[in-house]
A and B are shown apart, each in its own frame.
Chain A
């Protein structure tokens, strides 16, 4: 039975309205421009194409300056709103097979990152005591557009999206677990996340990831969800063309553990500004 009809539980004598799983690009839910779908657990799911990936990069790039320019307080509020919406839709994810504990951890992770929005700059930056009459300060800034090959689990997906966007990056996510990913997209779409900040593509990442890895308007590449060493190496090589920042964990990540700062700092640039002091 398709996953989309598992929730709510079917009533006898009533035909359930199924959900169509589409892509999430620029705040909208389009089908793949290619018209292709594939079947996952009985549901037809959009099979994203190279063109969809490029469209998603365009949407992410267009959204990035405004999202980065939003106040940190504002971004924190939006991330907290995501936690609220996810909490409210627990039943839907439960029906997709997500455990209670994972769901709680995913909600709590949004809350955790929401709080980082207006703190990371103080932790990762600050005044530098240079040997001269200068005011010198370093502050983190978002890298820009991040392409993410995401792990399949809900907690894994949240754990790669949240640290990227909390600081002002926008993302194009190649999602492994399509129903979970698109259900999360529906959470995002109702959480005041501006269109284009998160773009989610379902399909075969081996097909779309190389285009994103080689895309000159992508600033960073997160390969956390790539399982095949050979493909990961190929994507890393492709990313070297425009010197993208690459995240490639060397060991399996325990997503229930404290993530630390690295998931955020890996997608931040440090800008240092000097100014002379004097009358």
Chain B
């Protein structure tokens, strides 16, 4: 393996303030009860900023601001709403280097990914939905579809700005106003987005950003003047939200957990499949709801494939997220690291064989070496529960029917992968997989035009594409 000289991206392009308030009605101000929490760089444990914790009164103010703004925003001609969104998209493009560095600092993901995946997709998402704003009558939801009102949106920490874009772009294009709560460990890019909204001269109250932890999210979701709730996060919290929204008439979309099967048949091109497996589970440190966390490999090629996979894993560079050579960055938080360690220890204790490449990890920060478990059975917890980290469980199969049965043997149904050279097999297996996104001979591809969302306990509703409009239209 070549030694690479460090190639760190400069963090001087981003100017992080010492503290941030809530963005309500076009202005930043502190939370009413003065509570704050700190957001840290998970690669160094350095405190990046203090953020306000929004309490019930703050949520009241934010929802009231969004409700006031709703009247004029929803009455704007679609073409005018579109132009605001195009403006936002352009500003994001212009500030993409700054936002990419910020995202890597706050989240821990490699700059290669925040720069080449997150930010381009964020801008593209706003461009895509901008174009819908004046074409809603042609979207197939009736001749005169109406917005719902105030959308309360709660997003996770794995793709902070991208999840914000997935939530805000379709909501605004359809004439809704929003109150969005970013995750407590990754609030900064949402707060910078508030500044993007100001730069775009978006009318006050159309977008409100409230920071805080689970309680803040619960106040928002349960607020009586919220007409629509959109949540991306764990299945457990999704269930709680579905319960709390029950009987209120609020519209709800949920994008929840996954335990995707990545199925490799014996005729698959091994090198391509190995790249796909690595991308499937180690992209974004495995903090991906659609990660290919269960590798199902046909028994006849299991040994050969695992040899190649281990060789490839030994070349992965784990370390400084701002280094352009880094493949795997920091685990987002101490809590998440503890969860990954706990489930991995359980995997070993339950009898699966654990392997990681030799891999020096930095002294400070939250790190976990890329790990695979072989000899995993369907009963093992590491084959059933979402680990949300760089940990792959390897199972084998003999026949396509067995592969499909094992792939579907989960309460989740978000995504799946198929690797084979045989076209008819791809189509037949894709038909039988109970998953919302199926990647054949590729994995972890995203596009604003492509609907994304799960079957079963991975949630309901779709984000992206024409389908993504439905969640925000009456």
Contacts and interface: CB of A to CB of B under 8 A. Distances in A.
Interface of A: 123-124, 128-132, 134, 136, 138, 143, 219, 229-230, 232-234, 236-237, 239-243, 245-246, 248, 250, 260-261, 265, 269-276
Given A128-B465, A243-B235, A270 B445 contact: no
B410 interface: no
B438 A272 contact: yes
A146 B265 CA distance: 34
A275 B441 contact: yes
A274 to B, nearest CB: 5
Contacts of B37: none
Interface in B105-161: 124, 140, 142
Contacts of A129: 449
A124 B430 CA distance: 18
Given A138-B450, A248-B249, A272-B438, 16 more contacts: A128-B449, A130-B447, A131-B124, A131-B447, A143-B455, A234-B246, A236-B242, A239-B246, A240-B240, A242-B411, A243-B242, A243-B456, A243-B457, A243-B459, A260-B142, A270-B436
A13 B252 CA distance: 62
A5 B456 CA distance: 46
B238 interface: yes
Q: Which 6 A-B pairs rank lowest in CB-CB distance, beginning with the nearest?
A: A233-B247, A240-B242, A236-B246, A130-B447, A237-B246, A240-B243
Interface string B429-465: 0100101111111100101011111011101101001
B221 to A, nearest CB: 13
B438 A250 contact: no
A71 to B, nearest CB: 13
B450 A229 contact: no
A232 B254 CA distance: 20
B48 interface: no
Interface residues of B, number: 42
Q: Name the residue among B142, B433, B451 with the largest chain A CB count within 10 angstroms.
A: B451
13 contacts: A123-B140, A138-B465, A236-B242, A237-B243, A237-B247, A243-B254, A243-B256, A243-B457, A270-B451, A270-B462, A270-B467, A275-B442, A276-B441
Nearest to B439: A274
A243 B235 CA distance: 9
B239 interface: yes
A248 B251 CA distance: 10
A208 B433 CA distance: 31
B238 to A, nearest CB: 7
B239 A241 contact: yes
B249 A240 contact: no
A275 B426 contact: yes
B23 to A, nearest CB: 30
A162 B142 CA distance: 21
B440 A274 contact: yes
A261 B451 CA distance: 18
Contacts of B451: 128, 138, 270, 272
Given A233-B246, A240-B242, A242-B457, A273 B430 contact: yes
A235 to B, nearest CB: 8
Nearest to B240: A240
Contact of B453 (A123, A236, A270, A273): A270
Contacts of A123: 140
Nearest to A236: B246
A198 to B, nearest CB: 22
A136 B447 contact: yes
Given A138-B467, A242-B411, A243-B235, A271 B436 contact: yes
Nearest to A237: B246
A134 B246 contact: no
A81 to B, nearest CB: 26
Contacts of B462: 270
A243 B238 contact: yes
A134 B239 contact: no
Contact of A243 (B239, B247, B437, B445): B239
A271 B459 CA distance: 13
A271 B140 CA distance: 18
B440 to A, nearest CB: 4
B456 to A, nearest CB: 7
B36 to A, nearest CB: 33
Contact of A240 (B239, B447, B465): B239
B124 to A, nearest CB: 7
A219 B433 CA distance: 16
A274 B411 contact: no
Nearest to B427: A273
A271 B465 CA distance: 12
